[in-house]
């Protein structure tokens, strides 16, 4: 059997501004919360920061060439808010916009479609100082104003927009009580309710952001949210286990309070019952603002959880991963390829959005890559991981779920947040001391898959 995809299937790869750009003081950029956070002792492994990263800001031409060599047609990257509005709001820094102008033109010249994430965690430090960033509702309005500036500047050439990347990570991991390792700004708020309030504000930013993008775009465009909801997988696909996975989908991770309101306009009742007085305050009209019509949903998928029906009060149980379960080079990176298929299926069924196009906005893994004497990286573990997840994507497509495309995380090794440069997710190896880009075996494998439009 060959595992071919439909001719319209979009093959892509993804990066994010703070993880690759470096050049943190260039052309009027002001600090982001990640600059502040990573320079505090003990926050990031080995004391790494994004100050230089992959120096993409200066080497973007080489990186566009790398994309062209890969034969990719779609590239997802993010814009750094503190380059555009260094104080978070107010004065626009045209030199910051000029960088993305050149990047977009360079991509288009190679026939590569840009897919732009407006926020991938690097919020302006100025807004943290002014009102505590996501702790304040003001953040949502400032985000929408920032979106307007970017879309007005690039919207003549960019038609694929994503509002926020992974609300769970930058709110619950950034403000949550006792999160290890924490995310910027690393501000521990005083209650679970206050944590949920930060993600509620982010949902508002998404809603106002969608409206701002559509209002500012000079042409028809597509708008999506990028979410890493947690997929629940029935251990064996019996009707009972499938029903159990659907029930569990409401309350695992932060699903019930992020993807549910974003797509359905309601927090999951099961989650609200669990939260009790720790649920966030929801002002009149908020849920209507949050549930915006979306052209597609971006799903970041790395892992998931197995569920089966059981005689427990909730009617299901989640199976813990036994010691020795296959895992890649992150504590949470259990190999659960079915999470891709089941995530897409839950959008259609459990969230009742059968018409909602889904694309995989990120999938990939960290591996312990080493350069051989011949300057090669034989990352077979990454190829095996990716192949399994692509098989799950193929299953979703052949069963008729509206899965449109797949963006591999990541084009190159980069600053992996609290793990710094210690964890490599790229299909291109970065030799940080020389900034040399060395395509790994997975790069050549993925290139062949793209060219053949099938899993090899």
- Contact flag: residue 45 with ligand PNW (CB under 6 A): no
Which of residues 362, 369, 379, 381 is near ligand PNW by CB under 6 A?
362
Q: Phi and psi at residue 10, in whole multiples of 5°?
A: -100, 120
- Catalytic member of 362, 370, 376, 416: 362
- Contact flag: residue 16 with ligand PNW (CB under 6 A): yes
- Contact flag: residue 166 with ligand PNW (CB under 6 A): yes
Which residue is nearest to ligand PNW, using beta carbons?
332
Window 374-413: contact mask with ligand PNW (x via CB under 6 A):
-----------------------------------x----
Task: Enumerate residues 188-217 that contact ligand PNW by CB under 6 A.
Answer: none
Is 16 or 33 the residue whose CB approaches ligand PNW more closely? 16
CA distances from 333 to 232, 325, 328, 329, 422 (A): 15, 10, 5, 7, 15
The window from 49-57, 163-171, 202-210, 236-244 that contacts ligand PNW (CB under 6 A) reads 163-171
Is 423 or 437 the residue whose CB approaches ligand PNW more closely? 423
- Catalytic member of 128, 166, 338, 416: 166
Is 5 or 341 the residue whose CB approaches ligand PNW more closely? 341
Instruction: Say how many residues touch ligand PNW, by CB under 6 A.
Output: 13
Q: Least distance (Å) from ligand PNW to the CB of residue 182?
A: 12
Window 321-360: contact mask with ligand PNW (x via CB under 6 A):
-----------x----------------------------
- Contact flag: residue 180 with ligand PNW (CB under 6 A): no
Is 28 or 420 the residue whose CB approaches ligand PNW more closely? 420
Nearest Cα residue to 24 out of 83, 102, 88, 101: 83
Phi-psi region of 28 (alpha: psi -120 to 50; beta: other; left: phi over 0): left
Find out whether 100 and 81 touch, Cβ atoms under 8 Å: no
How far apart CA 12 and CA 34 sit, in angstroms, is 26
Find out whether 28 and 96 touch, Cβ atoms under 8 Å: yes
Write out the two tokens for 159: 């038609």
3-state secondary structure the chain: CCCECCCCCEEEEECCHHHHCCCCCHHHCCCEHHHHHHCCCCCCHHHCCCCCCCCHHHHHHHHHHHHHHHCCCEEEEECCHHHHCCCCCCCCCHHHHHHHHHHHHHHHHCCCEEEEEEECCCCEHHHHHHHCHHHCCHHHHHHHHHHHHHHHHHCCCCCEEEEEECHHHHHHHHHCCCCCCCCCCCCCCCCHHHHHHHHHHHHHHHHHHHHHHHHHCCCCCEEEEEECCCEEEECCCCHHHHHHHHHHHCCCCCHHHCHHHHHHCCCCHHHHHHHHHHCCCCCCCHHHHHCCCCCEEEEECCCEEEEEECCCCCCEEECCCCCCCCECCCCCCECCCHHHHHHHHHHHCCCCCCCCCEEEEEECCCECCCCCCCCCCCCHHHHHHHHHHHHHHHHHHHCCCCEEEEEEECCCCCCCHHHHHHCECCCEEEECCCCEEEECHHHHHHHHHHHHCECC
- Contact flag: residue 3 with ligand PNW (CB under 6 A): no
Tokens 């298929």 identify what position? 341
Which of residues 37, 143, 425, 443 is near ligand PNW by CB under 6 A?
425
Which of residues 26, 68, 92, 169 is near ligand PNW by CB under 6 A?
169
Q: Least distance (Å) from ligand PNW to the CB of residue 7?
A: 29
Q: Least distance (Å) from ligand PNW to the CB of residue 355?
A: 26
Is 197 or 300 the residue whose CB approaches ligand PNW more closely? 300
Q: Least distance (Å) from ligand PNW to the CB of residue 281?
A: 27
Is 18 or 260 the residue whose CB approaches ligand PNW more closely? 18
Is 231 or 397 the residue whose CB approaches ligand PNW more closely? 231
Q: Least distance (Å) from ligand PNW to the CB of residue 124?
A: 18
Active site residue 362: yes
Is 123 or 300 the residue whose CB approaches ligand PNW more closely? 300
The window from 165-173, 269-277, 306-314, 321-329 that contacts ligand PNW (CB under 6 A) reads 165-173
- Contact flag: residue 300 with ligand PNW (CB under 6 A): yes
Which of residues 5, 60, 119, 302 is near ligand PNW by CB under 6 A?
302
Write out the two tokens for 6: 């439909």
Is 55 or 362 the residue whose CB approaches ligand PNW more closely? 362
Window 219-258: contact mask with ligand PNW (x via CB under 6 A):
---------x------------------------------
Chain residues that interact with ligand PNW, rule: CB under 6 A: 16, 19, 165-166, 169, 228, 300, 302, 332, 362, 409, 416, 425
Active site residues: 166, 362
């Amino acid at each position: 059997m060959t595992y071919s995809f439909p001719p319209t299937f979009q093959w892509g790869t993804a990066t994010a501004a703070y993880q690759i750009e470096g050049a943190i003081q260039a052309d009027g950029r002001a600090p982001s919360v990640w600059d502040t956070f990573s320079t505090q002792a003990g926050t990031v492994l080995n004391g790494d920061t994004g100050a230089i990263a992959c120096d993409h800001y200066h080497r973007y031409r080489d990186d566009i060439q790398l994309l062209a060599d890969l034969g990719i047609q779609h590239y997802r990257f993010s814009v750094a808010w503190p380059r555009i509005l260094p104080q978070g709001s107010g004065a626009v820094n045209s030199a910051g916009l000029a960088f993305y102008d050149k990047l977009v033109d360079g991509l288009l010249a190679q026939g590569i479609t840009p897919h732009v994430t407006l926020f991938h965690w690097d919020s302006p430090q100025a807004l943290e100082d002014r009102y505590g960033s996501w702790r304040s509702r003001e953040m949502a309005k400032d985000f929408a104003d920032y979106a307007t500036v970017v879309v007005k500047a690039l919207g003549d050439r960019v038609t694929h927009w994503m509002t926020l990347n992974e609300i769970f990570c930058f709110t619950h991991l950034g403000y949550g009580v006792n999160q290890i390792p924490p995310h910027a700004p690393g501000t521990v708020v005083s209650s679970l309710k206050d944590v949920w309030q930060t993600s509620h504000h982010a949902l508002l930013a998404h809603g106002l952001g969608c409206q701002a993008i559509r209002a500012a775009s000079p042409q028809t465009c597509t708008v999506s949210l990028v979410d890493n909801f947690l997929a629940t997988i029935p251990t064996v696909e019996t009707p009972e286990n499938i029903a159990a996975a659907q029930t569990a989908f409401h309350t695992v991770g932060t699903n019930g309070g992020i993807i549910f309101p974003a797509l359905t306009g309601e927090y999951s009742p099961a989650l609200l019952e669990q939260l009790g007085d720790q649920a966030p305050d929801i002002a009149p009209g908020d849920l209507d603002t949050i549930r915006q019509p979306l052209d597609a949903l971006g799903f970041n998928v790395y892992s998931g959880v197995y569920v089966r029906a059981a005689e427990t009060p909730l009617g299901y149980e989640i199976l813990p991963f036994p010691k020795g379960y296959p895992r890649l080079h992150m504590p949470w990176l259990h190999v659960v390829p079915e999470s891709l298929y089941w995530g897409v299926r839950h959008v259609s069924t459990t969230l009742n959005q059968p018409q909602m196009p889904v694309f995989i906005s990120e999938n990939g893994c960290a591996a312990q890559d080493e350069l051989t004497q011949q300057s090669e990286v034989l990352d077979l573990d990454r190829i095996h991981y990716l192949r399994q997840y692509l098989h799950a994507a193929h299953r979703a497509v052949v069963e008729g779920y509206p899965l449109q495309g797949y963006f591999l995380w990541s084009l190159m090794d980069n600053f992996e947040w609290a793990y710094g440069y210690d964890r490599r997710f790229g299909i291109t190896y970065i030799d940080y001391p020389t900034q040399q880009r060395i395509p790994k075996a997975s790069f050549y494998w993925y290139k062949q898959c793209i060219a053949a439009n099938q899993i090899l």
